[in-house]
Amino acid sequence: SRTYLVTGASSGIGKAAATRLRDQGHTVIGADLKGADIEADLSTAEGRAALVARATELTGGRLDAVIACAGIAAFDPLTIKVNHFGAVATLEGLRPLLAASDAPRAVVISSVASIHPADEALVEAALSGDEDAAVEAAQAAVDRGEGHVIYGSSKQSVARWVRRTAATEDWAAAGITLNAIAPGTIVTPMTQPMIGNPEMLAVVDSTVPMPLNGHATPEQVAPLLEWLTSADNTHITGQVVFIDGGADVVLRGDRT
Ligand code: NAD
């Protein structure tokens, strides 16, 4: 059996992944704001440091896989702090623990929203690792009444960070796979308020069209996370795997 760390483990996709892996007999350390083995706020430097310190204590310094699910969809700069900088800090901070495994794997949750029009200044600030500049760009978007672009921008920047990072010395050369998944609309506490409102549902379904089987449950996403982080995944890295009922092909056609 393997040892996993899952962020965002108290709800939605993270909870479903943690439950599935525990049911298979793996050890899962859950991290979240509340109700998890490690309670840490990944929007802050202290919370990110606490996550790594506590994970090191609980595991003796060795982890087989990290699944970074913690995220929010607020029209607020906090969204870039959690979704990009929190996720990158989780993966970079726990990388030394992964390096001690003989089949280390990591995955982060991006989104179909990563292919929606983004705020380029925000994405560039995030990719350059400048959190203050990213927060400033996000606040500027809010101030112009475009706070909705922050979420997709955060999901684009984290996906592009995966592509920039996966083939480097610290990751591929250390035998650690690093991928993102890009879900379509998954029915979780994050999306329930939108899905429950007919006007918002129409916007969701036009921006994330899912011709194959419609909205998904978190339990339908968990098997992909399980496989990408299993020892069987020896050669998939740097990929953004869309699990979206066809939304990516509807939106982008035959572009690969
Ligand atoms: P969710 O709200 O059910 O779960 C997210 C979890 O992250 C919560 O338990 C929350 O407490 C935790 N979290 C939020 N801020 C945190 C912080 N600062 N520190 C630590 N933990 C924090 O949402 P979900 O739908 O399961 O989303 C999981 C991931 O999947 C998110 O990154 C989300 O953006 C992404 N995603 C979701 C969908 C969807 O349709 N639900 C689609 C694409 C991507």
Side chain identity at residue 192, one-letter code? Q
Instruction: Show the tokens assigned to 110.
Output: 């991006």
Question: Which domains, ranges and CATH numbers included, belong to the chain?
Answer: 3-191+217-240 (3.40.50.720)
CA distance 138 to 163: 23
CA of 173 to the centre of ligand 1 (A): 30
For residue 151, indicate whether it is catalytic: yes
CA distance 181 to 239: 8
Taking CA atoms only, the protein residue closest to ligand 1 atom 23 is 190
SS (H, E, C) 42-91: CCCHHHHHHHHHHHHHHHCCCCCEEEECCCCCCCCCHHHHHHHHHHHHHH
Identified catalytic residue from 4, 85, 151, 171: 151
What pLDDT does residue 174 have? Answer: 98
Q: What is the dihedral of CA 181, 186, 192, 198, to 10 degrees?
A: 120
Please write the tens of the pLDDT for every residue from 175-224.
999 999 999 999 999 999 999 999 999 999 999 999 999 999 999 999 99
What pLDDT does residue 49 have? Answer: 98
Task: State if residue 229 touches ligand 1 by the CB under 6 angstroms criterion.
Answer: no
Instruction: Show the tokens assigned to 21.
Output: 């892996």
What pLDDT does residue 214 have? Answer: 98
Please write the tens of the pLDDT for every residue from 111-169.
999 999 999 999 999 999 999 999 999 999 999 999 999 999 999 999 999 999 999 99
CA distance 14 to 88: 16
Mean pLDDT, residues 31-54 taken together? 98
ipTM surpassing 0.95, yes or no? yes
CA distance 122 to 77: 10
The contacts of residue 188 (CB under 8 Å, 6+ apart) are: 11, 12, 13, 218
Does the structure show a pLDDT above 80 at 256?
no
Q: How confident is the model at residue 9 (pLDDT cuts 50, 70, 90)?
A: very high
Does the structure show a pLDDT above 90 at 98?
yes
Please write the tens of the pLDDT for every residue from 243-252.
999 999 999 9
CA distance 81 to 132: 9
CA of 188 to the centre of ligand 1 (A): 9
CA of 189 to the centre of ligand 1 (A): 8
Average pLDDT of the chain, as a whole number: 98
Taking CA atoms only, the protein residue closest to ligand 1 atom 13 is 70
Task: State if residue 188 touches ligand 1 by the CB under 6 angstroms criterion.
Answer: yes
Mean pLDDT, residues 11-39 taken together? 98
Residue in 6, 13, 66 to alter for ligand 1 test, most ligand atoms within 8 A of Cβ: 13
Asked if 13 contacts 221 with a C-beta cutoff of 8 angstroms, the reply is yes
Pairing state between β 38-39 and 105-109 = unpaired
Integer-rounded Cα Rg, in Å, for the chain is 17
The count of residues in the chain is 256
Q: How confident is the model at residue 255 (pLDDT cuts 50, 70, 90)?
A: confident
